[in-house]
């Protein structure tokens, strides 16, 4: 489980395709604190650490395996050597819940339609898949490339968010451009509310 508060920007050092795809990701985390089998959200995708740097190795890194389904359903299939990605370690009991509850199970990808300045922030507009549109609400939360963001407006399958300068600086959102895809995970609460509504109709 995660909160959507990005704690590092990682860099894809290498990709190796053999059955599943193994990705080696450089990071600023202390490798001694990363356990084999730990979960790390990589631009919103929960992946399992299968190998890591030796303690003290600089730069630190960890390796994860991604299945073909993960490559097909997320932006991981677009990643190349040098790609920058948002990273978040899994939530521990007692940690501050600064964003919202995020599972790391990406639902699909959304497209960035436009990026424009709005005050000191940047206004992003997205198009989500039609089947996810009912789960996106004004003032609700959505995880985009692993970052917990607040929805400002909704028009059908399109929606907008404002991203403040701090978030632009400490995540990959400062590099984002119109026309690119991002990973989207809808709010868990919205998912369960929808399910309860379906159960009541039986």
Verify that 118 and 176 share a domain, yes or no: yes
Verify that 84 and 119 share a domain, yes or no: no
Q: What is the pTM of this model?
A: 0.92
Verify that 149 and 113 share a domain, yes or no: yes
Verify that 161 and 129 share a domain, yes or no: yes
Asked whether residue 2 is assigned to any structural domain, the reply reads no
User: Which of 35, 54, 89 delimits the end of a domain?
Assistant: 89
For 160-193, give the DSSP string: EEEE-HHHHHHSGGGG--TT-EEEEEE-HHHHHH
Total domains in the chain come to: 2
Asked whether residue 65 is assigned to any structural domain, the reply reads yes
Asked whether residue 97 is assigned to any structural domain, the reply reads no
Verify that 72 and 131 share a domain, yes or no: no
For 51-111, give the DSSP string: EEPPTT-SSEEEEEEE-HHHHHHSGGGG--TT-EEEEEEPP-TT----S--B-S---EEEE
pLDDT digits (tens, 9 = 90+) for 89-139: 998 877 777 888 899 999 999 999 999 999 999 999 999 999 999 999 999
Verify that 192 and 112 share a domain, yes or no: yes
Asked whether residue 36 is assigned to any structural domain, the reply reads yes
Q: Residue length, the chain?
A: 202
SS3 state at 31: helix
DSSP conformational letter for 34? P
Span 160-187, average pLDDT: 97
Verify that 13 and 79 share a domain, yes or no: yes
pLDDT digits (tens, 9 = 90+) for 7-45: 999 999 999 988 899 999 999 999 899 999 999 999 999
User: Which of 59, 89, 119 delimits the end of a domain?
Assistant: 89
Asked whether residue 40 is assigned to any structural domain, the reply reads yes
pLDDT-derived band at 200 (thresholds 50, 70, 90) equals low
Asked whether residue 47 is assigned to any structural domain, the reply reads yes
Q: What's the CATH number where 156 sits?
A: 2.40.30.20
- Measure Cα distances from 60 to 11, 35, 56, 166 in Å: 11, 13, 8, 24
Asked whether residue 74 is assigned to any structural domain, the reply reads yes
**Statement: residue 202 has pLDDT above 90:** no
- C-beta separation of 125 from 154 below 8 A: no
Write out the residue range of the structural domain in which residue 78 sits. Answer: 8-89
């Amino acid at each position: 489980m995660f909160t959507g508060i990005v704690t590092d920007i990682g860099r894809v050092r290498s990709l190796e395709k053999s059955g599943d795809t193994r990705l080696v990701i450089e990071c600023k985390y202390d490798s001694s604190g990363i356990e084999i089998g730990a979960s790390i959200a990589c631009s919103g995708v929960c992946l399992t650490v299968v190998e890591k740097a030796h303690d003290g190795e600089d730069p630190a890194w960890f390796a994860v395996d991604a299945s073909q389904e993960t490559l097909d359903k997320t932006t991981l299939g677009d990643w190349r050597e040098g790609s920058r990605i948002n990273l978040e370690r899994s939530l521990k009991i007692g940690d501050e819940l600064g964003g919202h509850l995020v599972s790391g199970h990406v639902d699909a990808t959304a497209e960035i339609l436009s990026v424009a300045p709005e005050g000191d922030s940047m206004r992003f507009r997205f198009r989500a898949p039609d089947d996810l549109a009912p789960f996106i609400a004004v003032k609700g939360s959505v995880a985009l490339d692993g970052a917990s963001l607040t929805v400002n407006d909704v028009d059908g399958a399109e929606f907008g968010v404002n991203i403040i300068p701090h978030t632009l600086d400490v995540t990959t959102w400062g590099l984002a451009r119109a026309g690119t895809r991002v990973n989207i995970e809808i709010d868990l609460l919205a998912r369960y509310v929808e399910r309860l509504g379906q159960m009541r109709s039986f």
